[in-house]
Structure 1
């Protein structure tokens, strides 16, 4: 291996490790070993679309988009603002979410069920009243349904735009059907199972969505003031810009985000594809050699990818 190859390999390892640690947390390596190494049946086989989507670096943009879109339901946003601690511990919240996605997507069936049971127990304790006097309950199937469809649409759209290998229409329908299994386990009633049903479900919530000051504050925190070192601010800004560009115009208006022209959006997309490709490169080890033949394949996204 020549010096330039060694330097590139070292850079890849450092970047990949830094991203993985941020997203998966201090227990990331241990969790990954258990998720992929523990024997037993899985909720989803290796050929299922959910593994393709959740294992791609496009999830970085899709995850940001989901947070912004979800914030536009005032009851969901009130619950997050009062109970999630997203300002005080944003990385912890991300790491818990990424681990949940990884366990339910790739892990043994009993581990997936345990993860769901833990989330349901947390939801059962999250109740309160908004500043306008509306009651919220995180275990409400209708509210859970909004969180689910906003997340699924965001992950799907990001994968269509920035995924390494976008799926065909049947594949994306299969992805939505896969996520419905997790949603039902969490308490969602009759989640959508294809793109037509997903669009219809999103439409039923449109009249309930409205901007609140809490939602706008969350957007400013997520997009403008992330707790990141300066070296990571520029790449994150590109992720955030592509996230904003992918939101529907009404959502951007509600959150007081910049409106981009069609030309600006078209120019933005290549930056998103380049950045997700760079993340994918950093988190995927080089082909095995005699020296590193036992190195496992790292994740392309939120934590752990199938080996």
Structure 2
């Protein structure tokens, strides 16, 4: 007889399979070649951090929130992703498409799971697909400013928001969080992902990442998307999630969105509630099948000849030209 948490875990896993795994993990092999550690391998900080799926998903929401404070990135998402309804893409107040939200989340979870635990061929294929998608994202904001997803400044900002979001969520809500130099090891390892996506001059410690994010402040603004996400009329579950996301923001970002921390007792209680929800979710769903397969893949030892993964193999300007439709067929 299944226990209540096992029943809940089974239901959550079925939902994840239906909404994410079957659509966005297709063609991703985590079992072969045997002995290939991928980009990071057992014992890495990345394997430890990304093994907690709820904290990873929450961290990606934190990254998305701070990322869209850049007006160019906000309009890249409006014009080139499925996040908003097609007939509102050119309107000043675009509307969120629920199916598009799941597509964006599915792509992100698949990418950060595949590059963490996949063998080298899987990780390289994912990086190529995302880079190729970035090559197609060029356009003009409503105010006439141009944007280009291959811009090194954009790549650095995007990278810094993601590594900061995931690491901060881990530090706050993982039951066994890395801290200090151990957490800096995660930042240093994760640079491998940023380089594979074409990034340059990337921060490699927590403090360097915070400094990098703050250096962009003169370019940032409260976009329509950020303003709507901080509104007072959100439904209770979204309001609670939104508070938890805003609570992670650096002080300068909190000032930009006019977020004020509650007193220490209330803040501690709120964080304890979020901790319980995320870790209850994690306990219910159990280890990711992809993580289990990755551990089996290297259970007999690591073959270092299979993955010279300390340096990126990508060289700018060498990607094949692929259309948007080709990429969507390949990546879901």
- Shorter-chain TM-score: what band? 0.7 to 0.9
Give CA-to-partner distance per residue, 1:63-108, whole Å, 9 cap, x none.
1111110000111111111111213311011111111111111111
TM-score (norm. length: structure 1): 0.80
- Whether 1:81 aligns to 2:78 is yes
The residue number in structure 2 matching 1:13 is 10
Q: Structure 1: state its 5+ residue gaps.
A: 226-232, 285-296
Q: 1:29 to 1:191 in 2, by over 3 A?
A: closer
Q: 1:28 to 1:279 in 2, by over 3 A?
A: farther
- The one of 47, 50, 66 equivalent to 1:54 is 50
Find the aligned partners of 2:206 and 2:31 in 1 and give their Cα distance. 29
- Whether 1:141 aligns to 2:152 is yes
User: How is 1:241-252 mapped onto 2 (pairs within 5 angstroms)?
Assistant: 241-252=243-254
- The one of 216, 219, 222 equivalent to 1:208 is 219
- The one of 123, 128, 131 equivalent to 2:134 is 123
- The one of 192, 196, 200 equivalent to 2:203 is 192
- The one of 185, 188, 211 equivalent to 1:177 is 188
User: How is 1:1-307 mapped onto 2 (pairs within 5 angstroms)?
Assistant: 3=1, 5-19=2-16, 21-22=18-19, 24-27=20-23, 34-39=29-34, 40-56=36-52, 57-87=54-84, 88=97, 89-217=100-228, 219=229, 224=234, 234=237, 237-255=239-257, 259-263=260-264, 264-284=266-286, 297-298=287-288, 306-307=294-295
Find the aligned partners of 1:53 and 1:266 in 2 and give their Cα distance. 23
Q: Structure 2: state its 5+ residue gaps.
A: 85-96, 296-332
RMSD of the alignment, in Å?
2.6
The residue number in structure 2 matching 1:228 is none
The residue number in structure 2 matching 1:289 is none
Find the aligned partners of 1:252 and 1:200 in 2 and give their Cα distance. 15
Q: Is this contact kept in 1: 2:82–2:103, CA < 8 A?
A: no
TM-score (norm. length: structure 2): 0.75
The residue number in structure 2 matching 1:229 is none
Which of 58-67 and 274-283 deviates more? 58-67
Q: Is this contact kept in 2: 1:80–1:86, CA < 8 A?
A: yes
Number of aligned residue pairs:
276
